[in-house]
Amino acid sequence: MDFSALSGKRFIQPLRRLRPRLRRNLSEYRIYAYLALLGPGIISATSGNEVSGIATYSSAGAEYGYTLLWTFLPMTLFFLVAQEMCVRMGVVTGQGLADLIREQFGVRWTTFVMIALLIANTGIIIAEFVGIAQASELLGIPRFFSVPVAATLIWWLVVKGTPKTIERIFLLMSLIFVAYIVSAFLAKPDWSTVGRELITPSFKLDSGYLFTVVALIGTTITPFMQVYVQSSVVEKGLEPEDLNTARADAGIGVVFANLIAFFIVVSTAATLHATGVKLEDAADAAQSLAPVVGEYAKYLFAVGLFGAAMLAMGVLPLATAYSLSEALGFEKGLSRSFREAPTFLGIFTALIIFGGVIALIPGIPQIRLLILTQCVNGVLLPILLTAIVLLANNREIMGEYRNRLVHNVLAISTTLVVSVLSLLLIGKTIADMF
């Protein structure tokens, strides 16, 4: 056999023709690999735009117009820093946030943080069920039907579904937030004013303004998000070589979530601020939009409210169950059965039942209670951020992946800003009482 022919054009040319196909197949493989790793960051961030978040953003737009839009620029940066640290810790250590807090800071510190998270998260869980009730009634469905059905669907999905199925459904729920972008454009805001207020910081020392700013921070960078994203990364089994993709997932989630929040403020500022409408509940924002921009905006807002509540109704109890199970040292995970992880799934079930029952009680306080819950989160956030920064700087557990100077500058700045705003709010509120 004449092997010299193998080095000729007959052999080389077919190989050259295969190169584009090989490159294309490799690119497709990489895309699929990246998509398989996406999920925790996007779900965690978008779940923060839940009922109490929508109430906070709507109230900020209705009461202060566009003047608070500038807060989204520093909040987005701070949010990115917080999510990235938790993603990095989860990938590197293979442990959840509550797990690390218990091991590094002891039982007393863990107990304090977990009680605070439980109180804050329970309040928001109730708000999610109230949001389901409000949204369904706007769409003509009575709450005594919608709340039990929604609770049962979420419980069945989490307890009986596989982790991959749960993640896919949560990601699909995140797409419902596009309704708020459409609502904002239907409101026809003055985009030049929007742009100017976005890049022009303004600040007031009255308690209402401070209360709203702290509430905005509390709903944008909510403690449950950090707990959930780290536990989800751990459960997904990501390794250090997946860190860049996990960071991209977190970044996409933060930008998308804050973009949605931005459009909620814009839509309510454009329609409700000039009329002086005072919102009593999250559904008021949808109802108040109707006379100005038509029924379509009202229904879009209601659909967004329903989808947001459904997503957060799954994520919040899960984040609480993760944190408490990790703190107590019990088995946890979506792949576990009731027999394998009774505490984890028991906490999740109890929170679903409790939130659903309370939401059916007539006369539950609405907008002020919702914003107060977010303000509590804003006050509690520095405590959790301090723990996160200390853990992310721990050479023993993080090794070469510990915080660098830029991480610490941004993280410490976040903690200080939130702490100062919280102290100003408390001081101003006390002063106004006298």
50 vs 187: CA distance, rounded Å:
21
DSSP states of 99-113: HHHHHHHHHHHHHHH
pLDDT of residue 304: 75
pLDDT of residue 197: 92
What is the rounded radius of gyration, in angstroms, for the C-alpha atoms of the chain? 23
Domain boundaries, the chain: 38-433
Per-10-residue mean pLDDT of the chain, 434 residues long, equals 49 51 44 48 75 80 90 89 91 90 85 81 82 81 88 87 76 75 83 91 78 78 83 84 87 89 88 72 62 64 78 84 84 80 89 88 63 64 84 91 87 79 64 59
DSSP for residue 4: G
Give 188-197's long-range contacts (Cβ < 8 A, gap of 24+).
Answer: 188/270, 188/293, 189/66, 189/266, 189/267, 189/269, 189/270, 190/270, 193/66, 194/66, 194/69, 194/266, 197/65, 197/66, 197/67, 197/69, 197/70
* CATH class, range 38-433: mainly alpha
Asked whether 71 and 213 are in contact (CB, 8 A), the reply is: yes
> Strand, coil or helix: what is 198?
helix
The span from the first CA to the last CA of the chain, in angstroms, equals: 103
* Helix, strand counts (H, E) of the chain: 18, 0
Asked whether 415 and 386 are in contact (CB, 8 A), the reply is: yes
265 vs 260: CA distance, rounded Å:
9
pLDDT of residue 224: 81
pLDDT of residue 26: 40
Asked whether 214 and 373 are in contact (CB, 8 A), the reply is: no
